A and B are shown apart, each in its own frame.
Chain A
């Protein structure tokens, strides 16, 4: 079974620029999550999708961050404009709730550096 795919793996931009990350979840997984992981910390949930609908985006800084999952499969996370404090690893995860486990499968992440 293929895992969660993310691209790019690394991105370096200057502050005030825009950036987008892409995630392809495990086939059949209805739930998709985006996390932000700042160096030395645990992942922090930004947004959760169920199919193509948003379940929770309470931690998403909506003035600069946006995310979509139009067809209920792939997802993109965008930052516009980026700030220095956005430097982090952005992790995508997916899960298939209802199998008796809440296990989330994570992708390798995109490491963003904002200069």
Chain B
């Protein structure tokens, strides 16, 4: 079965608020994690990544947090915008650049 999963399948957030999307993984040997955004009718798009030797990484309006103790990953989106509406996937790298994806969280931004 899948070793990477998201806590909630859907998330509704008010425009301008911060969003937090959670992900749990089970393979403690995973050393690299990626968050992808997938809009309707498109392929997944890279958002941000983090290696297991880090616990936090920031990008433009996004922050990824990694807690290896509880095998938990989260994506924070600051000042959520309508264009952030999409399905968000976390993926873990197991070996040889193979990624294992979770089921995804659908984020809907309310105006």
Q: List A residues at the B interface (Cβ < 8 Å).
A: 4, 31, 40-45, 48, 55-56, 91, 93, 95, 97, 101-109
Given contacts A102-B34, A102-B49, A103-B34, contact A4 B43 (CB under 8 A): yes
A-B contact sample (6 more), CB < 8 A, given A40-B103, A48-B97, A97-B97: A43-B101, A55-B96, A104-B46, A105-B46, A106-B36, A106-B44
Given contacts A45-B98, A48-B96, contact A106 B43 (CB under 8 A): yes
The chain B residue sitting closest to A6, CB to CB, is B43
- Binary per-residue interface labels of chain B (86-111) against chain A in the complex, 1 for a CB within 8 Å, 0 otherwise: 00010101001111111110000000
| Contact A42–B103 (Cβ < 8 Å) | yes
CB distance from A112 to the nearest CB of B (A): 14
Q: How far is the CA of A29 from the CA of B108 in the complex (A)?
A: 34
Q: Which 3 A-B pairs have the closest CB atoms?
A: A42-B101, A106-B43, A106-B44
Q: How far is the CA of A77 from the CA of B41 in the complex (A)?
A: 20
- A97 — which chain B residues lie within 8 A by C-beta? 97
| Contact A102–B32 (Cβ < 8 Å) | yes
Would you mind naming 14 contact pairs between A and B with Cβ atoms under 8 Å apart? Answer: A31-B97, A41-B103, A42-B89, A43-B101, A45-B99, A56-B96, A91-B43, A97-B97, A101-B49, A102-B93, A103-B34, A104-B99, A106-B43, A108-B41
